Amino acid sequence: MYEYDLLVVGSANADLVIGVERRPGAGETVLGTDLALHPGGKGANQAVAAARLGARTALLARVGDDAHGTLLLDSQRAAGVDTAGVLVGGAPTGVALITVDPSGDNSIVVSPGANGRLTPDDVRAAAPLLGSARVVSAQLEIPLETVEEVVRTLPAGSRFVLNPSPPRPLPPAVLAACDPLIVNEHEARVLLGADAGDTPGRWAEALLALGPRSVVVTLGGEGALVADSAGAVLVPAVRVDAVDTTGAGDSFTAALAWRLGAGERLADAAAYAARVGAVAVTREGAQASFPTAEEVAAL
């Protein structure tokens, strides 16, 4: 019996958000709105999103012994996330500097801080936590060698989900463990390089050839393409008026991972995740925008 539906191994950041009429070019200064502070980071976002949907969720991460770290721990606990795996100290809490334009699109610069100090030793020490989760999800805002250790430590029977963001080339062992590998268009192009091609179907085919058991290519307003050895299926997007896309991809990944762990087929899990992401983009912020299962059902 698994104690957790989902264990997220990843980053926890303080999001510093400014709204702008347009993002500045090189050497340009633009005025924005008042600064807003939100709990964020891809790992922490995924954990909150899953817990808010009703999944039994735990987080393995590192934050600083500072006010931002306290903010992040408080937000996790308020959502119902088990924070026993969150380590404190070693560096200041990570920070993400985010600009959001009127269409809801965002640009993000991340200072990893304590996220960069989440080590393979930390993963090995948390082996009992990994063994108690049905699904383990990770991203690349923590060191790649730490993600590699997650794959090595993961017990047989647990499922591994990876969103390689920010993207970089991945070792074969990590790729082979992914079920699924979840990428957007930019991440697909980085992973594939010259072999990227120019269509989602080509990306999915080429990504599967790298070794993951399944692939999900998110396509924004066009939905998502899911692919495995049985073929590819386009999951349509849910049409809404977007306010802020910050964290939407994290809510999609968390929902998908949770539903896969519950036994749903990949396409069905992706369709549910698309509904979760659709609700999230209609609200400002990352974690504050994540819906409950009841809100998703009402969409």
Indicate the range of 139-143, 196-200, 287-291 predicted with least confidence: 196-200
What whole-number distance in Å separates Cα of residue 52 and Cα of residue 5? 13
- CA nearest neighbour of 218 among 205, 204, 198: 204
Quickly state the pLDDT bin for 104 (edges 50, 70, 90): confident
The proportion of the chain whose per-residue pLDDT surpasses 90, expressed as a percent, equals 75
- Judge whether residue 91 has pLDDT over 80: yes
Which domain does 140 fall in, by range? 4-297
pLDDT of residue 169: 93
107 belongs to an annotated ligand binding site: no
Q: What is the mean pLDDT of residues 32-45?
A: 93
Task: Look up 250 and say whether it is catalytic.
Answer: yes
Residue 1 has pLDDT above 80, yes or no: no
Question: Which CATH number is 18's domain given?
Answer: 3.40.1190.20
> Looking at 65, 195, 250, 268, which residue is catalytic?
250
Least confident of 22-26, 63-67, 184-188, 257-261: 22-26
| Predicted pLDDT of residue 108 | 82
**115 among the known binding-site residues?**
no
Q: How much is the pLDDT for 283?
A: 86
Number of separate domains in the chain = 1
Confidence of residue 67 (pLDDT cuts 50, 70, 90): very high
Q: Is 221 assigned to a binding site?
A: yes
Residue 299 reports pLDDT greater than 70: yes
Q: For residues 8-46, b (16+ Cβ closer than 10 Å) or e, as one string?
A: bbbbbbbbbbebbeeeeeeeeeeeeeeeeebbbbbbbbb
The pLDDT of residue 195 is: 67
232 assigned binding-site residue: no
Angle CA 285–288–289, to nearest 5:
75
Confidence band, pLDDT 50/70/90 cuts, at residue 247: confident
| 94 assigned to a ligand binding site | no
